[in-house]
Structure 1
Amino acid sequence: MATVREDNIPHVVRTAADQRQKGMYSATIGRIEQVNSTIRLLRLYIDNDQPALRHLPGQYVDLHIPEIERVGGFTITSPPQTAMRLPAPTPSTTTPPTAATFDDPYLELAIQKSPANPPAAYAWQNPGDIMNAPVRFRIGGNFTHPPMAFSMQEFQSIDNIVLIAGGVGINPIMSMVSAMDLQGAKRMGGLPPRLRILYSSKRGINESGKPEEVLFEERLSAITAKRAQKQDDVDFKYTFFDTSQNASTGSEKKDVPGNMQVLQRRIAHDDLFEALGPENKRQNTLVYVCGLPAMTDEFVELLRKAPGMEEKRVLSEKWW
């Protein structure tokens, strides 16, 4: 009998055991940003007159596109805060009144070019052909921050978080980092006393022979620089591992904040152990790993067996 490759299994079948919200939401494609030749960002603006949307960092959407039978599965890259509809501040009584306004709530998705995947191919049409197009979605996924299996007491005890991403495995990690940054330090769901980000990716070359932007490199650098200037006792460090052959022409030349490091190599086992911190202080360490199956399996096995760690505190998701 022929073996079916995991990446050829439909999203809803592969994730059938995952938790999902019951409700479906309608939205409109309202913004399209080209990151590089293989990745583009879509914003789905959530339609009015629907129940308030709540999701956890790390979750995905089952995306339903009109006239396309196959359901798409795309990780939410924006933090939960952007999906909340917030009322405008109370108008001042000392200045001329203005009309009440609301921030438009949205979800952001990073979609990789994939002509053989109908939902992804739809999202890669000419932007003018899909702008303002209607879609529907459902929230799902178990790879979340905070972890679904943690009690409130367990989560509150965490003082070191390690986020490890390979390639487009950065998608759920980006949502987590953004959410923690917006929440701030010393607050539930916010930044822990110590945080380490390890992101490994290749830098593509465009048609002109110039290095392309890596997904979320600017956003992560901006958050890292912001944290370097804060005086909130958060030990925040971000390391980008550039694994492309043209690494010397890419991020190496860019200015980086003091708490950021750029290395032209793959993530090594010693990098993982350093991120975990001293063995006698790992009992409150939480790790997230997301990337291609081979990398994810290797790192998860190593991290779960590391002194001071346990299986429950190493969470993972594979990117197919």
Structure 2
Amino acid sequence: MQFLPGQWVDLYPPQDTGITKPGGFTITSAPSLASHSSSNPYVELAIQHSPDNPVAAYLFRPVEQLLRTPVSVRIGGSFVFPPPLAGPAPLRRVVFVAGGMGINPMMSMLSHIAEPGMWREEDRVRFRDLEVRLLYSVKDPVVSVATDAASGGNDGGVAGGGRSRGGSDRDVVDSRGVLFLDRIAELFGTGRLKGGVQLFLTGGGGGRPLPTTEGPTPPRVFARCDAGDVPVLKRRITVRDVGEAIGSDKDSTVVYICGVPTMTDEFVQALVSPDDFGMEKNRVLFEKWW
């Protein structure tokens, strides 16, 4: 099964189920895991428990009813990495902007970028030393909050490729309620990805409320992950945040945006507008979640 990072599948259950329409699910694993060179080839799909969706309901049946039953898949989607850029110009930075479930196709892309040994030779030359910036927004996560007043450690967290386990008066968020965050932190924290991740929380979870992280000197809030702590801001992602992640070299940067239409439309319009960021349209890729 061959696919590009970021693509999705239309999945058809066995004919004897009576389900005739496919279910569309995003592939969240790297293409290398599905190749013949893998000892146990597979694809990972993001499937939400949804009893009203016939295909999703079928896939949530007990395991023993699903193992070794045939399904058919059709691969599609143009929101992919590597980006379809013309010419030999190098790509030095890629900025991912994910809103909620918009992280799903980006998980496959991040995993692929983290294994350059699986790239085509021309991509290894063109994308060497690629820097990755991820802005990830989650609404109403199930998290718990505690205060970490221990001393020592590195407050850089995985945003700077380091490992954070200390500091004073730090609010610490349990990352288990944030989809894929531990996996993402491991990619950055172990150095497989160069760059950093910033988490934005737009709703409260379990435990006491997070302090506001707006203002000139916001309090330090982190999501605790095994590979390092991820910095947290309690607010929505803004166009300014995206601009800061892009930096000054917009002609060597590509931006991927995936989220609800209102967020996607706002960011894309600002990035490609000649009166704003003025990026080339082929350097701003997006996919909307309805």
The 3 A distance-change label for structure 1 pair 219 and 211 is closer
**Equivalent residue runs for 1:191-202 within 5 Å:** 192-202=129-139
Task: Give the conservation status (yes or no) of the 8 Å contact 1:203–1:212.
Answer: no
Q: Paired residue for 2:177?
A: 213
Shift of 1:220: 0.4
Q: How far apart in 1 are the matches of 2:75 and 2:238?
A: 34
Q: 1:109 aligns with which of 17, 39, 45?
A: 45
8 Å contact kept, 1:160–1:195: yes
- CA RMSD in angstroms comes to 2.8
Determine helix, strand or coil for the equivalent of 2:3: coil
Q: Does the 8 A contact of 2:185 with 2:225 survive in 1?
A: no
Identity of aligned residues (%): 41
Q: Contact 1:247/1:264 (CA < 8 Å) preserved in 2?
A: no
Q: Which moved more, 1:281-290 or 1:115-124?
A: 115-124
Q: 2:36 aligns with which of 65, 75, 85?
A: 85
Question: 1:77–1:152: structure 2 CA closer, same or farther, 3 Å change rule?
Answer: farther
Q: Distance in 2 between matches of 1:247 and 1:199?
A: 20
> Contact 1:162–1:286 (CA<8 Å) still a contact in 2?
yes
Which of the numbers 118, 126, 134 marks the counterpart of 2:54?
118
Q: Once the two structures are superposed, what CA deviation does each residue of 1:239-264 show, in whole Å capped at 9, x if it has no partner? A: 11122212776984525867942222
Structure 1 residues 301 and 140, CA, compared in 2 at 3 Å: closer, same or farther?
same
1:129 and 2:81 equivalent?
no
> Is contact 2:186–2:226 with CA below 8 Å preserved after alignment?
no
Partner residue of 1:76? 27
Aligned residue in 2 for 1:146: 82
Q: Which residue of 1 aligns with 2:12?
A: 64
Q: 1:307 to 1:140 in 2, by over 3 A?
A: same
Q: Normalized against structure 1, the TM-score is what?
A: 0.67
**Alignment of 1:187 onto 2:117:** no
Query: Which residues in structure 2 correspond to 1:223-238 (within 5 Å)?
Result: 223-227=187-191, 235-238=194-197
Indicate which of 42, 54, 74 corresponds to 2:2: 54
1:176 to partner: Cα distance: 0.4
Within 5 Å, give how 1:1-320 maps onto structure 2: 53-66=1-14, 67=17, 68-86=19-37, 103-148=39-84, 150-151=85-86, 153-154=88-89, 157-183=90-116, 187-188=124-125, 192-205=129-142, 213-227=177-191, 235-246=194-205, 252=222, 254=224, 260-278=230-248, 281-305=249-273, 306-320=276-290
**Contiguous gaps of at least 5 residues in structure 1:** 1-52, 87-101
The CA deviation at 1:118 is 1.2
Q: How far apart are the structure 1 equivalents of 2:207 and 2:244? A: 25
CA displacement at 1:202 relative to structure 2 = 2.6
Provide the C-alpha distance between the structure 2 equivalents of 1:138 and 1:315, rounded to a whole number of angstroms.
Answer: 22
Cα distance in 1 between the residues matched to 2:115 and 2:250 = 26
Q: 1:299 to 1:308 in 2, by over 3 A?
A: closer
Q: Aligned to 1:245, what secondary structure does the other structure show? A: coil
Rounded Cα–Cα distance in structure 2 between residues aligned with 1:226 and 1:79: 18
Displacement of 1:203 after TM fit?
4.6
Distance 1:152 1:314 in 2: 16
Partners of 2:142 and 2:229 in 1: how far apart?
27
Give me the whole-angstrom Cα distance separating, in 2, the residues matched to 1:144 and 1:255: 27
How far off its partner does 1:115 sit? 2.1
Give, in whole Å, the separation in 1 of the partners of 2:261 and 2:2. Answer: 29
Structure 2: give runs of 5+ residues left out of the alignment.
144-173, 211-220
> Is the 8 Å Cα contact of residues 238 and 259 (structure 1) preserved in structure 2?
no
Amino acid at match of 1:215: L
| CA gap 1:111/1:151 in 2 versus in 1, 3 angstroms | same
